[in-house]
Chains A and B, each alone.
Chain A
Amino acid sequence: MTQTDYQIHGVNGPVVTVTGGRGLAMMDMVHVGVEGLIGEVVGVEGDVTTVQVYEDTAGLAPGQRVASTGAPMSILLGPGLLNRIFDGIARPLAVMADQSGPFLGRGLNLPALDLERTWDVTVAVQEGDQVEPGTLYASCPETPAITHRCLVPPGLTGKVTRAVPSGAYRVSEPLVEIADRRGKLHTLKLSQTWPIRTPRPFEERLPISRPLITGQRIIDTLFPIAKGGAAAIPGPFGAGKTMTQHQLAKWSDADIIVYLGCGERGNEMTQALEEFSELLDPRTRQPLMNRTILIANTSNMPVAAREASVYTGMTMAEYYRDMGYHVALMADSTSRWAEALREISGRLEEMPAEEGFPAYLASRLAEFYERAGYVKTLEGREGSVTVVGAVSPQGGDFSEPVTQNTRRYVRTFWGLDRALAYARHFPSINWLTSYSEYAADLTPWYDAQVGPNFAVCRRRLSLLLQEESKLMEIVKLIGADILPEDQKLVIETARLIRVGFLQQNAYHDIDTYVPLSKQLRMMELILRLYDGAKVRIDRAIPLSQIKETGIFDALSKVKYEAPNDRPEVFADYEARIDAALAAVDAANREQPEDGER
């Protein structure tokens, strides 16, 4: 190879032009300049190759050498990814801090995995075994709850010619040697590399059938997300996108969380790191970090690496999916990624489309969201990647290109609302603009696992909310006093739904995570009160009398008072509703005009 001939010709921010040969391929990874900054080939025109550099380019000069690695941008995958925090191109930030201090240095070429650590490996094949893509050849406990399964990579079929005995090994030590059909030998280790822009293959896609349970009422009940699905959270600043993402990362019932901070605040990543290390996963009683991979490419880190970070995160998610795990990828925020595309596109002097974004914005978003899915893996297990992407629309205007294009490729849309956030209604998901196309797909699961009444309650709740919003139009014009009593009841019940059910306090011990069974019981309580009150109102008993019993206020506090693990307390609440309604009946019985009964 003649790689030493390549040299820098020009520099424009993160974009570097390279001359000296025609051998560089698109998407090849290169090392640029004296410090060996990491870059990727994004264009070739005659003798001039264009490279985007993932680090600050100050100090690069024409004539400095550019070395090709001869391979596309790849990352090292293997045990030890969990419980770590990486930058956008999978360099471990903790190791970088050890080497270059609290401020990020440049040109550090660090492997994602700890090469010195030994793992307790069980080798699953022996000499003479036939293997094919997806065959398990070794496994090791990565964290107390997660077993790392090393599978024969795609494209490799053959016979095992050598296998080490089970024992303690480092990630780069050879474990198994395989001769393919042509007799060529391949060495398999605990680790493998994979190009980040190439989706990892699987056997087949399976239909969506299971929800990702998040413990957040408005999500699980009204706008559910499926395992293997894709959701978007658009919202203006301050509406709680990051907060919602953090809640999902903490409480959702995925096996593995990949949390991607793409072009966002440094302090938020620090907070996630601290919190996830302290909090315990409710299912495994392990620190949350033990099931989490953090990727931090904060807004002041190089813009090109921001563009790569979403692919890094997705590749890691797919890697664990292939082992048969349910992985949730939280990307905060995909708008920053799109803006990075725009910034680099501008430097490449490409023709802009809408609002300066490149014309390929939609296809890049589609490629990314389509990597989500519920699949049968090569090994034959079931695994999934669920993607939740935050979108930060300019000025909170959902008609901008990133939000609109994202909408086309996701099936759950949680629209955050500035007005709700100003009123400190959290999560500020607007129940009128949000939707979930998965609700119908998941109904069989809810029917079987939670009870057939769940879907009924969900529909009734959303109908009441819809009706309220229509009535509020009238109330805005003429005030609430004029409305007939049954419509007042709708407004009062909807208020109870909003305050007592949709609002959820992430800082409250009980309220931060609510199991589905309790969500159902809460809905049933609200509807029991509504139905009971409706009967009274039809008998011309005014709503104010029912309100005076304080039962509406009492129900709005259920979320704080009823423990998550004691469903029996709901019988008490039912009794209180009945008692309140009975008291209203009794008061009216004494009046002569009550002719019924």
Chain B
Amino acid sequence: MRLEYIGLSELSGSLIVLEGVSGVSFDEMAEITLDSGERRYGRVILIDGDRVVLQVFEGTRGISLENASTHFVGKPVDIALSKEMLGRVFDGAGRPIDGLGELFPDERRNINGSAINPVSRQYPRSCIYTGVSAIDGPATLIRGQKLPIFSGSGMKHNELAAQIVRQAKVADQDGDFAIVFAAMGVKNDTAGFFRRSFAEAGALQRVVMFLNLASDPIIERILTPRCALTAAEYLAFTHGYHVLVIMTDMTSYCEALREFSSSKGEIPSRKGFPAYLYSDLASLYERAGMIRGRAGSVTQVPILTMPNDDITHPIPDLTGYITEGQIVLDRELEQKGLYPPVNILSSLSRLMKDGIGEGYTREDHPALSNQLFASYSKVQDARSLASVIGEDELSELDKQYLPFGRAFEERFVGQGLLENRTLDQTLDLGWKLLTLLPRSELDRVDAKTIEARYVEDAWKSVLQPGQA
């Protein structure tokens, strides 16, 4: 027997309230049928005796207290999963929108997933080469890591993400690569851009897309990353794919969460975001990882635009506390016309220390990346001093740092959109640029490595003499 509750007792924002309901469980999914025959979906977010509050994914426009009937389906929100998802396009709630018809599911899974037992996790150690020097050298991406890109409106984060997707390859070629792309509140153009770049890379058959565009219902946006990650976990841990999940834009997601929270009348915390923003983001980001005894992996590259380029805004701030590092894009470098405009000093990959060096990448990798950080940070000191007292007044040593800084930004960080550098190229380039500095300034490298890698004046093979 199909039990329907006719009518509602309250409407508020995207929430509807029913009274006199029994036998409904928390987080259960509901179908709401309008008199017009339109069907919408919602889920239970609060139960108080026989009063039930539902969140309607598609919004409440057009719903009145009398024109809707509600049916509870008896299970939480889930999506259909199958290997056939590869190459398909879904909406933000996991329904196919590419006109190729419904999926034949192998199984259905609750989109909330459940936490990976820390005991069952495998600590990630194998590197993913992105072919981008600014990442491979100083902030190496590791399989199973969550490494967000902190960007700002108008910066080239999409191009960088697309380049990573095009060029990414794993160190040891076991297992297949797949990409899960989740768009939350992005413009049509952006979704189109990604689709084109996947097509150009010949990768469309390896991509699963979940699209919640800027004009799509906001509440559905809360489901989008969960659907995407459920698909990613399925492909990774059931079928052994190495899945790279690109989620953009996490800022839109958090704003949707804030809108939902305020319509529920919750007490806001910082900047109006709900107090549980940290836990909520963690329930997404922590779904990256590897599992002992399973072949695949889920690697996340979420993209977020920092409101007003402010890294202490709650969204980047809480993200940074959960993710294993961050790639930070810099407005100043962007304005200099550099691509990718990665700010090396504030970028970090927490997992790289165990996944690089001897036996993983190259034995001099850790020393080099440490030295580049330390030297580049001295460049900043020299620059800020120069801005006060003028370049001419700098000490001889400080003066040497300025050309190094310029060369490092232009040659090492900067690279072409289609330029795919091998790790050897990246590391060798780093050593060559370091020869712009006197040998005694390399205080993060042991004598043996300097002996092996520091070739006096090697920078001349990279730069014109006039440039330094």
**A residues adjacent to B (C-beta < 8 A):** 9-13, 17, 56-63, 85, 93-94, 96-97, 100-106, 236-238, 261, 263, 265-267, 269-271, 273-274, 296, 298-301, 303, 336, 339-340, 342-343, 346, 349, 352, 355-356, 392, 394-397, 422-424, 475-481, 499, 507, 553, 556, 560
Contacts and interface: CB of A to CB of B under 8 A. Distances in A.
B464 interface: no
Given A265-B322, A266-B289, A479-B393, A102 B120 contact: yes
Interface string B261-290: 000001111100011101100110111010
A58 B112 contact: yes
Nearest to B145: A267
A266 B76 contact: no
Contact of A59 (B23, B27, B124, B267): B27
17 contacts: A9-B48, A13-B276, A62-B47, A93-B117, A103-B120, A104-B114, A267-B324, A299-B286, A339-B278, A343-B276, A346-B275, A349-B267, A355-B269, A395-B312, A424-B374, A424-B377, A477-B389
A354 to B, nearest CB: 11
Contact of B121 (A61, A266, A336, A343): A266
Given A102-B291, A270-B122, A424-B374, A237 B26 contact: no
B320 interface: yes
A13 B50 CA distance: 17
Contacts of A103: 113-117, 120
Given A57-B26, A346-B266, A553-B440, A11 B121 contact: no
Contacts of B384: 476
A336 B395 CA distance: 46
B371 to A, nearest CB: 9
- Considering the complex of A and B, which 6 residue pairs feature the smallest CB-CB distances, nearest first? A395-B312, A299-B282, A58-B27, A102-B120, A61-B25, A300-B286
A336 B278 contact: yes
Nearest to B120: A102
Interface string B41-63: 00001111110000000000000
A267 B443 contact: no
Contacts of B46: 10-12
B49 A9 contact: yes
B275 A298 contact: no
Which of B117, B320, B322, B366 neighbours the largest number of chain A CB atoms within 10 Å of its CB? B117
A273 B346 CA distance: 28
A12 to B, nearest CB: 5
Contacts of B279: 263, 299-300, 303, 339-340, 343
Interface string B93-132: 0000000000000000010111111111111100000000
Given A236-B320, A300-B286, 20 more contacts: A58-B25, A62-B49, A97-B119, A102-B237, A103-B113, A265-B286, A266-B289, A267-B289, A270-B118, A271-B354, A346-B274, A346-B276, A356-B270, A394-B270, A394-B312, A394-B314, A394-B317, A397-B312, A422-B345, A507-B366
B138 to A, nearest CB: 10
Contact of B114 (A56, A397, A479): A56
A299 B278 contact: yes
A240 to B, nearest CB: 10
A32 to B, nearest CB: 11
Given A85-B119, A507-B353, A63 B22 contact: yes
Nearest to B282: A299
B192 to A, nearest CB: 33
Contacts of A342: 269, 275
B373 interface: yes
Which of B27, B293, B393 neighbours the largest number of chain A CB atoms within 10 Å of its CB? B27
B351 interface: yes
B199 interface: no
A202 B326 CA distance: 46
B3 interface: no
A570 B5 CA distance: 85
Interface residues of B, number: 86
B411 interface: no
Contact of A10 (B48, B116, B366, B443): B48
Contacts of A57: 26-27
A122 B389 CA distance: 76
B321 A392 contact: yes
B47 A11 contact: yes
B320 A237 contact: yes
Contacts of A269: 118, 121
Contacts of A9: 48-49
Nearest to B346: A422
Nearest to A356: B269
A351 to B, nearest CB: 9
B443 A355 contact: no
Interface in B249-269: 266-269
Contacts of A423: 345, 373-374, 377-378
Contacts of A273: 118-119
Interface in B4-42: 22-28
A9 B313 CA distance: 38
Contact of B370 (A100, A340, A424): A424
Contacts of A10: 46-49
B444 interface: yes
B276 A303 contact: yes
B446 interface: yes
Contacts of A96: 117, 119
Contacts of A104: 114-117
Contact of B443 (A13, A339, A556): A556
A349 B48 CA distance: 14
Contacts of B144: 267
B395 A480 contact: yes
A356 B346 CA distance: 29
A296 B112 contact: no
B115 A301 contact: yes
B394 interface: yes
Interface in B339-374: 345-346, 348, 350-351, 353-354, 366, 370, 373-374
A102 B24 CA distance: 29
A299 B322 contact: yes
B273 to A, nearest CB: 10
A52 to B, nearest CB: 14
A573 to B, nearest CB: 17
Contacts of B274: 346
Contacts of A424: 370, 373-374, 377, 444
B50 A62 contact: yes
Contacts of B345: 422-423
A236 B116 CA distance: 26
Which of A60, A93, A238, A273 neighbours the largest number of chain B CB atoms within 10 Å of its CB? A238
Contacts of A395: 312-314, 317
B325 interface: yes
A94 B348 contact: no
Given A10-B46, A103-B115, A59 B25 contact: yes
A477 B388 contact: yes
B287 A58 contact: no
A273 B120 CA distance: 11
B214 interface: no
A352 to B, nearest CB: 6
Contacts of B50: 62
B385 A476 contact: yes
B320 A267 contact: no
B136 to A, nearest CB: 18
Contacts of A101: 120
Contact of B119 (A60, A94, A265): A94
A479 B322 contact: no
A347 B121 CA distance: 32
Contact of A274 (B114, B123, B145): B123
Contacts of A356: 267-270, 275
Given A238-B348, A267-B351, A479-B389, A102 B370 contact: no
Which of A61, A478, A480 neighbours the largest number of chain B CB atoms within 10 Å of its CB? A61
A62 B118 contact: no
